[in-house]
Amino acid sequence: MMYNAKSMKAEEFISHEEVEETLKYADKNAENEALISEILEKARLGRGLNHTEASVLLACEIPEVTKQIFDLAEQIKKDYYGNRIVIFAPLYLSNYCVNGCVYCPYHVKNKHIARKKLTQEEVAREVIALQDMGHKRLAIEAGEDEVNNPLEYILECIHTIYSIRHKNGAIRRVNVNIAATSVENYRRLKEAGIGTYILFQETYHKESYLKLHPTGPKHDYDYHTEAMDRAMAGGIDDVGLGVLYGLELYRYEFAALLMHAEHLEAVHGVGPHTISMPRIKRADDIDPSAFDNSISDEVFAKLCALVRISVPYTGMIISTRENQAVRERVIRYGVSQISGASRTSVGGYAEDERPHDTEQFDVSDQRTLDEVVRWLMQMGYIPSFCTACYRAGRTGDRFMELCKSKQMQNCCHPNALMTLKEFLLDYATEQTRAIGEKMIEAELRNIPGEMVRRLCAEHLEKIEQGIRDFRF
Ligand code: SAM
């Protein structure tokens, strides 16, 4: 199929032939030092790389080049995102699902997993439990099932989530990870005030995709792959991409993922808001070793670094699928958002003990939110509960402009400090609060604009006095 980044047809903007050509070219040039230096030079400008250039770097195994890739990713991360890490939690609404995805425990043929769908009262209980930990930003998750989880149900849940005010708690941003749907439904999600619409491609390799999704509406590769275009047509301009690593060859996925980002930029003038980096995990009825394309921690770190270099303006997300050590490494190389204290079971947050009966996958990082916040600060990162951008209308290209103008330090930095302050006062242990207060004091000086710095200091005072929800 002819490759055309501007085409609206999945098979043309993710052309299989183009991916294969790219991989061949990358293999041929994997030791071409002159070309590799040129690509690294371009990457240093901080404006990204295309799928061909990035694929050459991925194929290259020269240790000195790998080191340069990691160093550069770290630098770009610092330049664009500073030392802030945004925190969120997934909220599982329902595990009813009609699809046959062979890697997912929610697949329709799994008869031994308990099926559950939250009532609105249960949603409220989950939200209160999440607020009581200190969360402000959620990603809602649901299986695909027109009967049990129709869009009306999802909308009702979003409404409930936003309406709950418990003590000083509030969920201020709801991102949505539900199956591909119609333009009209995306419009309704946008109207309900969602943040990012996230949909993992799982694999871009069509032949494998069809086998991995043998039954159900998700079997339709084109409908799934073209979902982000429909989301954009429905007015959602913050979309999140992702590949489930382990299903197919990672080099194929990486090239195609960047082609998808290039397509969004070419057609809509704005690339993906985020890229998630999930790896397949053990789960009920799922043995990850049944999928023979698993990648080592080393390759995974290099992939994260190359995503950072290739699309500097796109946030990168790592979940609790990864353990603390892996998270530590990839945060350094470019991850900007992490989940914390996640429970992947339906109704899991309201339970005292972590339940396993409806879980989507095993959680590797099982620490509390307070522990995650403290750990980030001890490594020199500012945990941020900021949700300001989309509430101030800074989505899509307006958000990208903010990134490109490097004004984030005058906006995201104070917002991070103010939301951290709220967390410290309302939810943190004494030990975490002590570390956090010191961090805020020191980081206040790193706000470049004098007026913003002064205003931020005033807001911090007011937060101390009990007022909440300031933002720039
Ligand atoms: N049902 C929605 C859809 O069709 O896109 C998305 C919600 S699903 C709860 C979220 C994501 O979890 C999936 O897109 C998939 O990539 C990931 N996932 C499924 N099984 C997994 C496993 N065994 N290990 C890790 N991640 C998994």
Concatenated DSSP letters of 273-313? SEEE--B---BTTB-GGGSTT---HHHHHHHHHHHHHH-TT
Confidence of residue 402 (pLDDT cuts 50, 70, 90): confident
User: What share of the chain has pLDDT > 70, as a percent?
Assistant: 100
Residue among 416, 246, 440, 250 nearest 337 (CA): 416
Q: Given a cut of 90, is residue 407 above it in pLDDT?
A: no
Residue among 87, 89, 88, 91 nearest 358 (CA): 91
Q: Given a cut of 90, is residue 406 above it in pLDDT?
A: no
Q: Which residues line ligand 1 (CB under 6 A)?
A: 103-104, 141, 143-144, 177-179, 199-200, 202, 218, 244, 278, 280-281, 283, 286, 321, 360-361
Is pTM beyond 0.85? Reply is yes
Task: Give the pLDDT mean for 430-441.
Answer: 98
Residue 125 alpha carbon to ligand 1 centre in Å: 24
Question: Looking at residue 20, what is its pLDDT?
Answer: 98
Measured in residues, the chain has a length of: 472
Nearest CA to ligand 1 atom 26: 280
Angle between helices 297-310 and 63-81 (to 10 degrees): 50
* Adjacent-strand bridge partners of 198: 240
Question: Looking at residue 291, what is its pLDDT?
Answer: 87
Q: Express each pLDDT in 345-398 by its tens digit.
A: 999 999 999 999 889 998 999 999 999 999 999 999 999 999 999 899 999 988
Residue pair 350/126 in contact (Cβ under 8 Å)? The answer is yes
Question: Looking at residue 87, what is its pLDDT?
Answer: 98
Q: Which two tokens stand for residue 265?
A: 């930029």
Residue 244 alpha carbon to ligand 1 centre in Å: 8
Question: Looking at residue 409, what is its pLDDT?
Answer: 84
Q: Going by DSSP bridges, is the β-strand pair 382-384/137-142 parallel, antiparallel, or unpaired?
A: unpaired
Task: Give the pLDDT mean for 283-296.
Answer: 90
Strands (E) across 120-219 are located at 137-142, 173-177, 197-198
Cβ neighbours of residue 348 closer than 8 Å, sequence gap 6 or more: 92, 126, 354, 355, 358, 359
For the chain, the average pLDDT equals: 96
Task: Give the pLDDT mean for 265-272.
Answer: 97
Residue pair 314/258 in contact (Cβ under 8 Å)? The answer is no
| Ligand 1 closest atom vs CA 286 | 23
Question: Looking at residue 159, what is its pLDDT?
Answer: 98
Which SS3 state, helix, strand or coil, does residue 337 take?
strand
Residue 96 alpha carbon to ligand 1 centre in Å: 13
Residue among 329, 307, 273, 338 nearest 84 (CA): 338
Cβ neighbour number for residue 436 with a 10 Å cutoff: 22
Question: Looking at residue 216, what is its pLDDT?
Answer: 98
Which phi and psi angles does 137 have, rounded to 5°? -135, 125
Q: Given a cut of 90, is residue 292 above it in pLDDT?
A: no
Residue 356 alpha carbon to ligand 1 centre in Å: 16
Residue pair 316/275 in contact (Cβ under 8 Å)? The answer is yes
Residue pair 337/88 in contact (Cβ under 8 Å)? The answer is yes
| Ligand 1 closest atom vs CA 202 | 16
Q: Express each pLDDT in 228-261 by its tens digit.
A: 999 999 999 999 999 999 999 999 999 999 999 9
Angstrom distance (rounded) from CA 314 to CA 228:
15
Token match 């699928």: residue?
321
Which SS3 state, helix, strand or coil, does residue 254 take?
helix
Question: Looking at residue 436, what is its pLDDT?
Answer: 98
Nearest CA to ligand 1 atom 11: 200
Q: Express each pLDDT in 167-224 by its tens digit.
A: 999 999 999 999 999 999 999 999 999 999 999 999 999 999 999 999 999 999 999 9
Residue 10 alpha carbon to ligand 1 centre in Å: 21
Question: Looking at residue 399, what is its pLDDT?
Answer: 87
Q: Express each pLDDT in 297-322 by its tens digit.
A: 999 999 999 999 999 999 999 999 99
Q: Given a cut of 80, is residue 343 above it in pLDDT?
A: yes
Residue 41 alpha carbon to ligand 1 centre in Å: 37
Confidence of residue 403 (pLDDT cuts 50, 70, 90): confident
Rg (alpha carbons) of the chain, rounded to whole number: 21
Structure letter (DSSP) for residue 85: E
